Amino acid sequence: MSELFPKYRASWETDQHRELRQHAAAFLAKEATPNQERWAKNHQVDREFWNKLGDAGLLGLDLPEEYGGAGGDFGFSAVVAEEFALAHDSASGWSVHSPIVAHYIDTYGSAEQKARWMPKIISGETVLAIAMTEPGTGSDLQAVRTTAIRDGDDYVINGSKTFISNGSLCDMVVIVAKTDPAQGAAGVSLIVAEVNDLPGFERGRVLEKVGQHGQDTRELFFTDMRVPVANLLGEQEGLGFYQLMSQLARERLVIGSICAGMAEAAVLEAIKYTKEREAFGKPLIKFQHNRFQLAELKAEVLSIKTMVDYCVQALIDGDNDPAIASMGKLIAADRAVAVVDRCVQFFGGYGYMMEYPIGRAYAAARVNKIYGGTSEIMKEIISRTL
């Protein structure tokens, strides 16, 4: 439950969601929060953390029960995404693995593919990544240059990807590639590669990001890498671009939920600090300017939460409207960055130190306006509804 708004309850939030929230909060307080500095130094989480997530039931929240999932709605993922942020986590690639990549396989995979892959995805034995972005392409996914050319019963894949979350620890990668380079968007396909000890697969350098230092973000390279044709997602080639577009609402609302949690966590830290830190003989919160700033920030957090929850409700109701999801991400990302920035100011020089959660949040927040589609792309999508 929200510490800042104890009585707050989203329209979609049931008792099951609230129980899950408490479970996730307790788990992350023990397994994630204390490890942030160490994971940042190692540029990745412990591999065992994925198995612990699986054991805790946090990797199959809205995946089918027949494979070991919880069979919940999208709200299950929204709750846990928010709790990761409230736990000051900026290292885990959970948001990529569980609510995003796993759903490509669940939605577009064949019965045989799901039976083979899904149990290990849900248990944490298999860590997922998705290889979309390339050095020369970002949001324009139909312009990818990675190719997957059929040769008998295999695809021969050549190309490179960058900014790949879970790049160090992933066991399985959903690759966005051109199976017919002459067809533009109609030539894009999604192909699943089981990459451990796979000839032609190479993990590039760990990327030095501004924030999220504990997240194992890498470049990936494919050189004549052979993957079975049976690993194609979907009934035929050329569906990848449309598969990507139909899943982006989920991704953007996961990011929106993270932003809501990040903003609330920052304000909670600021309130705590201003009650403890003294200046001129009294706590910082006793100065009217500081109280008014915190009052504005608390109201700002509520506006972010209600916006995101409206969009989550729409998705739960079956309205997969890209404009609605884009509005949720646009507002949540832009406002969360502003909230975190303002909260840093209360801490003075300490707010600029990475050993403080607020410093890590400041460095981690900015990317939310970029990945999952930039704020400018969100505006373009929304503008088409005007």
**Positive or negative torsion for Cα 80, 81, 85, 86:** negative
Among candidate residues 13, 251, 264, 269, the one labeled active-site is 251
Assign 185 to helix, strand or coil. Answer: helix
The residue count of the chain comes to 386
φ/ψ bin of 93: left (φ > 0), alpha (ψ from -120 to 50), beta (otherwise): alpha
- Residue 308: closest CA among 255, 264, 355: 255
- Residue 117: closest CA among 128, 129, 130, 133: 128
Quote the DSSP letter at residue 232. Answer: B
In angstroms, rounded to a whole number, what is the distance separating the alpha carbons of residues 283 and 309? 35
Rg (CA), the chain: 21
Helices in 73-229 by DSSP H: which ranges? 74-86, 94-96, 102-108, 111-123
C-alpha 32: how far from its chain's center?
Answer: 16
Quote the DSSP letter at residue 180. Answer: S
Buried b (16+ CB within 10 A) or exposed e, 14-53: eeebeebbebbbebbeebbeebbeebbebbbbeeebbebb
Angle at 83 between CA 286 and CA 284, to 5 degrees: 10
- Residue 165: closest CA among 133, 121, 120: 133
Is 251 marked active-site?
yes
In angstroms, rounded to a whole number, what is the distance separating the alpha carbons of residues 329 and 256? 5
Dihedrals phi, psi of 147, to nearest 5 degrees? -115, 150
Show which residues are catalytic: 251
